[in-house]
């Protein structure tokens, strides 16, 4: 009988914190600036420059730790991790090895077989490295230090995951929590959330772990899932052939859907860690921790419940709207303003998502404001705009940030309340369609919607449907009596 294998996976997740300035200096952390415009002697590693810890970094690391059910080290320290690499100007990275800020936490994920706890070994604070740019010119590499010193937390899990699905569920859970805490935007494509995957396989029933490899360079959930599957197969193949799995770091190539060795996996001792003499130890008061516990923003699960209870959304709708913290905020603000949660949900889950898909936009990139959406819903409710025109206005609001009142006025989309004009249109339609009038009187009620359509067309789609219906009914009634 063929051997059965189990995959054992642990993750190291790096998350860039959403502070305005870097971890040890006042330089901006803004993404996408011109190379080397956000640097100073500290983050460019000049000799003699002294780091000073940004308090916001500590606050965000603590918030994350508390939300991930961690113990907090009330006394923690920074250590130097020594290595040379061209994007690392100090020749060491300031990180935490001996006394990380948080340890022993957990999160709960949903799996096909119910809920499962994934334990978190530790969370530590550290600085990001610069970025090497290899393809600008053929014969040399360039280095951009804007990212050097951007604050990171590294969240290290225990090897508790057993499949790609569990890995993705865990990452989604981390992303939800960190986004709702507003400590990071967690954009995998911009590198503000990055995962290294430690993976080994062992025979089902075995108590000991197999030799693990680490995979880096994974910048999408899809790539992570592929890398897990690919590495599992590669290791099983080796074992089946009687060969050994080497402990090494491998680089996953998403285009080739295969990995290749990068370097043999180093241990902590290889880095000659030692306490950083430039930074004093970090102490955290119980008082501060309590304050952070009390001021924690609502997380996704709580938000979902509020949406269902306060705004009458179904569990499904609440789940879709809370998948993005931006969408959730947009919904809630709109619903508060217009008092019609279901209508707000319908717009956001219908037209907004359709347009986002069409334009390839993220919720955070929408130009739609809650004020404008609430206004549009009000105009709709008051019958001052037809459903057809409302869609046009909505698209302009999403794409150009248009103001609904201006847009309606500029494009002549307001419902025409002019009774005389409507009456004239009804008369014309009835006069032009004597056959249909006859059929209607003969009992063919379906003809009514045809006549409605004709009147609406005559009014260029700007008449209020209720008013057209009334007017048409009245006129058909009269015609009957007259005859
Ligand atoms: Zn700096």
Asked if residue 293 belongs to a domain, the reply is no
pLDDT higher than threshold 60 for residue 149: yes
400 C-beta neighbours (distance < 10 Å), count: 10
Segments in 151-220 forming alpha helices (H): 164-181
In a domain, 149, yes or no: yes
Do 186 and 66 belong together in one domain? Answer: yes
Q: Is residue 306 domain-shared with residue 450, that is, in the same domain?
A: no
pLDDT tens-digit readout, 24-35? 999 999 988 999
Give the Å distance between the CA of 146 and the centre of ligand 1.
8
Same domain, 214 and 312: no
Is the pTM for the entire model greater than 0.85? no
DSSP 20: S
With a cut of 50, say whether residue 483 has pLDDT above it: no
pLDDT tens across 88-137, in order? 999 999 999 999 999 999 999 999 889 999 999 999 999 999 999 887 77
Q: 292 in a domain, yes or no? A: no
Structural domains of the chain, count: 3
CA of 22 to the centre of ligand 1 (A): 7
CA of 246 to the centre of ligand 1 (A): 39
CA 30–ligand 1 middle distance (angstroms): 12
Residues 424, 402, single domain; the answer is no
Cα-to-centroid distance, 126 and ligand 1 (Å): 15
167-225, pLDDT tens digit by residue?
Answer: 999 999 999 999 999 999 998 888 899 999 999 999 999 989 999 999 987 888 999 99
What's the pLDDT at 260?
85
By residue range, what is the domain housing residue 136? Answer: 5-287
Chosen domain end from 233, 267, 287: 287
Indicate if the pLDDT at residue 256 is higher than 90. no
- CATH code: domain of residue 445: 1.10.10.410
Residue at 60 is within a domain: yes
Structural domain contains residue 260: yes
pLDDT band at 462 (very low <50, low <70, confident <90, very high): confident
* pLDDT value for 265: 66
322 found inside a domain: yes
386 and 444 in a single domain? The answer is: no
End of a domain among 239, 265, 287?
287
- For residue 78, is it within any domain? yes
Do both 406 and 432 map to the same domain? no
Percent of the chain with pLDDT over 90: 72
Q: Are residues 62 and 167 in the same domain?
A: yes
241: its two tokens: 């052939």
- Answer yes or no: do 82 and 111 share one domain: yes
Q: Ligand 1 centre and the CA of 132: distance in Å? A: 18
Domain limit, last residue, from 410, 430, 447: 410
Q: How far apart are CA 169 and CA 180, in angstroms?
A: 16
Mean pLDDT of the chain: 92
Same domain, 380 and 251: no
> What's the CA-to-centroid distance between 36 and ligand 1, angstroms?
10
Q: Do 167 and 188 fall within a single domain?
A: yes
How much is the average pLDDT of 39-54? 96
| Same domain flag for 343 and 226 | no
SS3 9: strand
- Cα of 186 vs centre of ligand 1, distance in Å, is 22
Q: How far apart are CA 199 and CA 249, in angstroms?
A: 11
For residues 150 and 21, the answer to whether their CB atoms sit within 8 Å is: no
What's the CA-to-centroid distance between 145 and ligand 1, angstroms?
Answer: 9
3-state secondary structure 410-474: HCCCCCECCHHHHHHHHHHHHHHCHHHHHHHHCCCCCHHHHHHHHHHHHCCCCECHHHHHHHHHH
Q: Are 186 and 222 in a shared domain?
A: yes
Task: Report pLDDT for 445.
Answer: 82
Cβ–Cβ < 8 Å for 367, 386: no
CB of 472 closer than 8 Å to CB of 426: yes
- pLDDT exceeding 70 applies to what percent of the chain? 98
Ligand 1 center to 40 CA (angstroms): 4
More reliable by pLDDT, 324 or 416: 324
Report in angstroms the alpha-carbon separations of 91 from 100, 125, 137, 245, 277: 21, 18, 25, 31, 15
């Amino acid at each position: 009988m063929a051997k059965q294998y189990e995959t054992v996976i642990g993750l190291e997740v790096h998350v860039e914190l959403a502070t305005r300035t870097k971890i040890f200096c006042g330089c901006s952390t803004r993404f996408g600036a011109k190379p080397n415009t956000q640097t100073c002697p500290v983050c460019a590693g000049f000799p003699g420059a002294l780091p000073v810890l940004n308090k916001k970094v500590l606050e965000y690391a603590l918030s994350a730790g508390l939300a991930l059910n961690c113990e907090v080290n009330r006394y923690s320290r920074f250590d130097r991790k020594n290595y040379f690499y061209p994007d690392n100007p100090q020749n060491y990275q300031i990180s935490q090895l001996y006394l990380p800020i948080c340890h022993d936490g957990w999160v709960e994920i949903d799996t096909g077989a119910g809920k499962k706890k994934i334990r978190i070994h530790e969370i530590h604070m550290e600085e990001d490295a610069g970025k090497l740019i290899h393809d600008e010119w053929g014969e040399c590499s360039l280095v951009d230090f804007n990212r050097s010193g951007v604050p990171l937390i590294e969240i290290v899990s225990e090897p508790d995951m057993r499949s790609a699905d569990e890995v993705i569920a865990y990452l989604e859970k981390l992303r939800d929590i960190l986004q709702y805490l507003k400590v990071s935007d967690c954009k995998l494509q911009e590198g503000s959330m990055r995962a290294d995957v430690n993976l080994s396989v062992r025979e089902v029933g075995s108590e000991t772990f197999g030799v693990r490899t680490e995979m880096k360079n994974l910048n999408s959930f899809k790539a992570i899932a592929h890398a897990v599957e690919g590495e599992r197969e590669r290791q099983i193949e080796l074992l089946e052939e009687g060969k050994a799995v080497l402990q090494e770091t491998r680089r996953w190539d998403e285009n080739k859907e295969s990995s290749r060795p990068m370097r043999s996996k180093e241990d902590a001792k290889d880095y000659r860690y030692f306490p950083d003499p430039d930074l004093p130890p970090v102490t955290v008061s119980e008082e501060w921790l309590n304050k952070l516990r009390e001021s924690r923003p609502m997380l996704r699960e709580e938000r979902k419940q509020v949406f269902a209870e306060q705004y009458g959304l179904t569990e499904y709708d609440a789940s879709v709207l809370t998948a993005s913290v931006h969408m959730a905020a947009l919904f809630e603000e709109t619903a508060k303003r217009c008092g019609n949660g279901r209508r707000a949900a319908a717009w956001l889950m219908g037209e907004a998502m359709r347009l986002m898909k069409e334009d390839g936009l993220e919720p955070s990139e929408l130009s739609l404001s809650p004020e404008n959406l609430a206004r549009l819903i009000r105009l709709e409710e008051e019958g001052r705009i037809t459903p057809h025109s409302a869609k046009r206005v909505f698209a302009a609001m999403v794409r150009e940030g248009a103001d609904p009142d201006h847009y309606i006025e500029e494009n002549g989309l307001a419902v025409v309340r002019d009774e005389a004009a409507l009456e004239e249109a009804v008369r014309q339609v009835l006069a032009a369609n004597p056959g249909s009038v006859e059929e209607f009187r003969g009992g063919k009620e379906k003809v009514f919607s045809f006549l409605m359509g004709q009147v609406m067309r005559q009014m260029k789609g700007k008449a209020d449907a209720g008013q057209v219906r009334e007017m048409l009914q009245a006129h058909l009634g009269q015609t009957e009596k007259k005859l």
